[in-house]
């Protein structure tokens, strides 16, 4: 199977390479010829290969192999995957409004969206799904449960769950409805005159949601603003233009796109009257800030309209367009690169020049070009957006990451909330007592999880190497003792990394209690980047100095 896949990928690549250097007439002829060869090859394989083959599967593999040689954003969307793609791009579907996930062999509710049917019916974070409309879902893939929860609006679905602290199971009859997931997941004052907005998506309506949030915050007394775009993967380019247009005059260019087709060469300018041209604005960025998020952050940086605080952004300067294919399939294809007002393209990875092994790398520093903002501040292309004020994210160790990915922190938060049903009155000051944390530390020792740190893997390799050689008993004994110490450290991870794990556990508990609002209230009081942005906005002389040319 592997060799067949390789041959099909090579054929697909050969088609691409051949077409790249041909005239239009030659290309059309080569397309027809290559497709004829491909169809004949598939027919021969299907008829004469020694074992039975699945032609559709082979074709899907060949399509995947061909598109993998382009970039990660160009994708084939089959009819079967069209609904999932639509939900991803529009944020809309019909169901109960709950996110489910697989943790420690259980399918659990990880987020019943506030205001939607599941939440209103009484479904809690951490509830384990037992059955849906009488169909057993324990041990089944998450996708199966998600599909059963979705359906036509106004139809009923019976959901049976198990909740820690409750005897037996709980049953909820929930009426499905159209679900539109909000782009703005939090808004509020973090000081008497500093508004904070967390924007997680760029699906349709994002611009309107941000405008409404700003209006409400200003009515509450906000005179300065923090827009949190950390880990926002982007989405609609049009919504990026709408959001940037809230802060710069009507008719100003936000982004332009340039591609091979003349249809891809467009300039997008603000269409609506701005909401506020002068409010001091800081945008929080991270390595996960990408695409439409970078258009907003980059355009406002280019107009010297906002300061970026955080980390260098991801660097996705590519634009995708969806094209229809036969039989209700679709192609999401990269059609252009985008350029922000200073003229720079912030695409960081060079997909056009792959290495001989097919891998890609970032553009070299030597090819980066200097550009200037409207006031003359220096900015650069080909590497994402550099923040005006760099603020490192709080990194966690491999061991702590392993505990998080194991789902144990989520699991224990469900247990804690089941045992402590009284909701905290102030999420910002919530803190686990020493007794409560030690109870968690004792519990985690009894739980098995698969994470093995890199140092333990190295010790295993060293031990195997030592055991393979003769007269090496002393070394084997030493390495064995080292491995035992490493295992013991993993066993005591809750004590060794108490500060980090306690904070993550508290954050998960307040999410269980208060959903996103509770989690954000807790985070705002402790988040280093938010605190730094708050401090800078309290010193407007320094803020405006950073926006000027040194």
Tokens 């061909």 locate to 66
Whether 302 is a known active-site residue: answer yes
Q: Is the dihedral of CA 36, 41, 46, 48 positive or negative?
A: positive
- Beta bridge partners, 128, equal 108, 162
Q: Which of 71, 127, 228, 302 is catalytic?
A: 302
Whole-angstrom distance, CA of residue 130 vs CA of residue 127? 9
- Please give the span between the terminal C-alpha atoms of the chain, in angstroms, as a whole number: 61
Tokens 């041990």 locate to 139
Which DSSP helix (H) or strand (E) runs through 408?
helix 408-419
Q: Which of 62, 228, 286, 316 is catalytic?
A: 316
DSSP-derived letter for residue 476 is H
Of 316, 310, 314, nearest to 288 (Cα)? Answer: 314
List C-alpha distances in Å: 76 to 1, 63, 65, 321, 465: 21, 8, 11, 12, 45
Neighbouring residues of 517: CB distance < 8 A, sequence distance ≥ 6: 114, 186, 188, 427
Q: Which of 145, 256, 291, 299 is catalytic?
A: 291
Whole-angstrom distance, CA of residue 485 vs CA of residue 456? 10
List C-alpha distances in Å: 233 to 292, 350, 443: 8, 19, 36
- For residues 481-516, one letter each, b for 16 or more C-beta atoms within 10 angstroms of the residue's C-beta and e for the rest, the string is ebbeebeebbeebbeebeebbbbbbbbbbbbbbbbb
DSSP-derived letter for residue 235 is B
Q: With beta carbons less than 8 A apart as the criterion, state whether 64 and 82 touch.
A: no
Angle at 6 (CA atoms; ends 3, 9), nearest 5 degrees? 150
The catalytic residues are 291, 302, 316
């Amino acid at each position: 199977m592997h060799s067949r896949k390789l041959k099909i990928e090579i054929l697909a690549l050969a088609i691409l390479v051949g077409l790249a250097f041909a005239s239009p007439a030659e290309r059309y002829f080569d397309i027809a010829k290559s497709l004829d060869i491909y169809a004949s090859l598939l027919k021969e394989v299907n008829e004469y290969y020694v074992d039975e083959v699945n032609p559709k599967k082979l074709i899907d593999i060949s399509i995947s192999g061909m598109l993998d040689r382009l970039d990660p954003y160009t994708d084939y969307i089959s009819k079967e995957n069209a609904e999932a793609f639509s939900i991803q791009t529009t944020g809309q579907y019909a169901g109960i409004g709950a996110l489910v996930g697989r943790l420690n062999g259980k399918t659990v509710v990880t987020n019943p969206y506030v205001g939607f049917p599941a939440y209103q019916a009484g479904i809690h974070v951490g509830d384990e799904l037992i059955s849906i409309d009488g169909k057993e879902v324990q041990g089944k893939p998450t996708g199966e449960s998600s599909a059963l929860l979705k359906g036509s609006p106004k139809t009923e679905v019976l959901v049976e769950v198990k909740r820690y602290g409750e005897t037996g199971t709980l049953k909820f009859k929930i009426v499905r409805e159209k679900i539109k997931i909000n782009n703005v997941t939090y808004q509020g004052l973090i000081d008497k005159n500093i508004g904070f907005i967390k924007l997680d998506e760029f699906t349709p309506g994002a611009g309107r949601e941000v405008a409404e949030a700003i209006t409400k915050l200003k009515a509450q007394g906000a005179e300065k603003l923090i827009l949190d775009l950390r880990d926002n993967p982007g989405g609609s380019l049009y919504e990026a233009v709408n959001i940037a247009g809230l802060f710069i005059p009507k008719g100003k260019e936000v982004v332009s796109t340039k591609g091979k087709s003349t249809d891809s060469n467009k300039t997008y300018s603000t269409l609506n009257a701005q909401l506020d041209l002068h409010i001091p604005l800081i945008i929080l960025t991270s390595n996960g800030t990408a695409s439409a998020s970078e258009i907003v952050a980059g355009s406002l940086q280019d107009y010297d309209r906002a300061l970026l605080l955080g980390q260098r952004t991801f660097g996705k300067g590519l634009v995708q367009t969806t094209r229809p294919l036969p039989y209700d399939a679709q192609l999401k294809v990269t059609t252009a690169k985008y350029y922000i007002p200073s003229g720079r393209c912030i695409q960081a990875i060079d997909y056009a020049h792959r290495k001989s092994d097919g891998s890609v790398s970032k553009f070299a520093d030597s090819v980066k070009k200097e550009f200037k903002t409207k006031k003359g501040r220096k900015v650069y292309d080909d590497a994402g957006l550099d923040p005006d004020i760099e603020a490192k994210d709080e990194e966690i160790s491999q061991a702590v990451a392993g505990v998080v990915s194991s789902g144990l922190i989520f699991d224990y938060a469900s247990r804690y909330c089941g045992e402590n049903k009284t909701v905290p009155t102030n999420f910002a000051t919530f803190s686990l007592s020493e007794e409560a944390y030690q109870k968690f530390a004792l519990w985690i020792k009894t739980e098995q999880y698969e994470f093995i740190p890199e140092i333990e893997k190295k010790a295993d390799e060293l031990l195997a190497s030592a055991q393979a050689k003769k007269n090496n008993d002393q070394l084997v004994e030493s390495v064995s003792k080292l491995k035992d110490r490493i295992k013991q450290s993993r066993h005591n991870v809750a004590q060794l990394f108490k500060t980090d794990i306690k904070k993550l556990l508290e954050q998960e508990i307040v999410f269980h209690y208060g959903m996103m609002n509770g989690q954000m209230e807790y985070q705002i009081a402790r988040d280093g980047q938010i605190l730094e942005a708050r401090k800078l906005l309290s010193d407007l002389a320094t803020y405006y100095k950073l926006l000027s040319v040194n």
